[in-house]
Amino acid sequence: MDSLSRIALEWSNLMIEDHTIIISYPLVDHIDFIKFQSKEKFRGIKPHLARSTIQKLWACYKIATSKGKFATLKAFFELLIGTYKWQGLRIGNVHSSIRFNPFLCYPNNSNMPEADYIGFLAGNYLTPRLTKLDKSKGKVIASIHLNYDSVEKDPSPLMKEWFTQEFNILKTCNVPVFAESRRNMQVAERKGLKIVGLVPPGINFEEFKKRQTSSNAIINVMLFCTPKPQKGLRFGCEAIQSLRRKYSSRNTVKFISIGNVTEEFRGLFDENIGFCYGDDYSRALRRADIFVWPEIYSGFATPPLQAMASGSALCTTAIDGTEEYCIHMQNSMTCEPYDVDTMVNNISTLIDNRQLRSFVASGGLEVARRYTWPESVRRLKEIMRRESLVDSA
């Protein structure tokens, strides 16, 4: 959940100026928790993970169900031996005054600090436990980062079941909830969940800077890759496969993957960067003449904005977030999810038309500048202010 960790990081670094910030997080993240609770019982988890993740999750289960001191101690050390750290630490710099509060699996009165607010970005499955904490632990404000119409079409029964359960939990817990995109908000409200505000994320322009104009004749086409079904890996790679056939006789186009491309598709690319963070990530984006984002559904897709801020021409699906800031052939080239032919045509158009490529990149840079972290924090503070007035009324 790097995108949510980045939001927490950027908000915290700005709000620490006039607030005390404590980042609380479970040592077992919600993805592992999903796998642990699923009826599929670890089906599909790679064997090399079974020796670490499943054992640690079993330890988590024991600490949650056993009253024996030995079992508790054993579980605690099994988890700490692993590499469980807050993901934001690998994304960017964290202000030295920000405090961290890791807990094992569930928040409770003994492991949560006193606060005015508990604003959480991921882990809505924890909402019932958070609402049962002492009032001194803070007012709970939740958030949604998904289009729950799209979740119902997710090819993974496990993810569909999990996120449907999360949504129903939010509906019954009666806590303020904000959304990060208009479509997320509209879908949630139509399904009966009241949304108290809209807080889109922003871009760190000190990190994501415009690329230098290159005289290199080679055009770098970069595809974002991750195996999660909703990220559209197969769809994006099918587009790259068609493009490779089309431009096989030209040595002026280079296809690059960034993220986690599976072995099935690795050979499609001239270069596989892999997952990278911090300065390595922003430098990688600046290499892209054309950045391709094939996601099927989202909360608010920020990597396309990051690519825009880096000076890349964007080819993307029209999904939650991108449909709010993308205008076809003005600041991006857009298509519907799974529409391989249109995606191929969009990328080809930018490859073949340098003037349009430059025009789209300039338009993207302009729209990216509208999304700042100070504005995102201002919206968040306004929600907290309104909710405090509701409590005092």
Instruction: Express each pLDDT in 245-292 by its tens digit.
Output: 999 887 899 999 999 999 999 999 999 999 998 899 999 999 999 999
Closest CA to 202 of 180, 218, 186: 180
pLDDT at residue number 368: 96
- Separation CA 71–CA 136 (nearest Å): 30
Structure token pair of residue 206: 């000190």
Q: What is the pLDDT of residues 202-231, one digit of tens each?
A: 999 999 999 877 667 899 999 999 988 889
pLDDT at residue number 32: 56
pLDDT at residue number 153: 74
Q: Is the pLDDT of residue 377 over 80?
A: yes
> Percentage of residues in the chain with pLDDT exceeding 70?
82
Q: What is the pLDDT of residues 346-372, one digit of tens each?
A: 999 999 999 999 999 999 999 999 999
Q: Are 301 and 145 in contact (CB under 8 A)?
A: no
pLDDT at residue number 159: 74
pLDDT at residue number 103: 80
HEC readout, the chain: CHHHHHHHHHHHHHHCCCCCCEEEEECCCHHHHHHHHCCCCCCCCCHHHHHHHHHHHHHHHHHHHCCCHHHHHHHHHHHHHCCCCCHHHHCCCCCCCCEEEEECCCCCCCCCCCCCEEECCCCHHHHHHHHCCCHHHCEEEEEECCCHHHHCCCCCHHHHHHHHHHHHHHHHHCCCEEECCHHHHHHHHHCCCCCCEECCCCECCCCCCCCCCCCCCCEEEEEEECCCHHHCHHHHHHHHHHHHHHCCCCCCEEEEEEECCCHHHHCCCCEECCCCCHHHHHHHHHCCCEEEECCCCCCCCCHHHHHHHCCCEEEEECCCCHHHHCCECCCEEEECCCCHHHHHHHHHHHHHCHHHHHHHHHHHHHHHCCCEHHHHHHHHHHHHHHHHHHHHC
Q: What is the pLDDT of residues 303-351, one digit of tens each?
A: 999 999 999 999 999 998 999 999 999 999 999 999 999 999 999 999 9
Max mean pLDDT range (213-227, 294-308, 377-391): 294-308
Q: Is the pLDDT of residue 50 over 60?
A: no
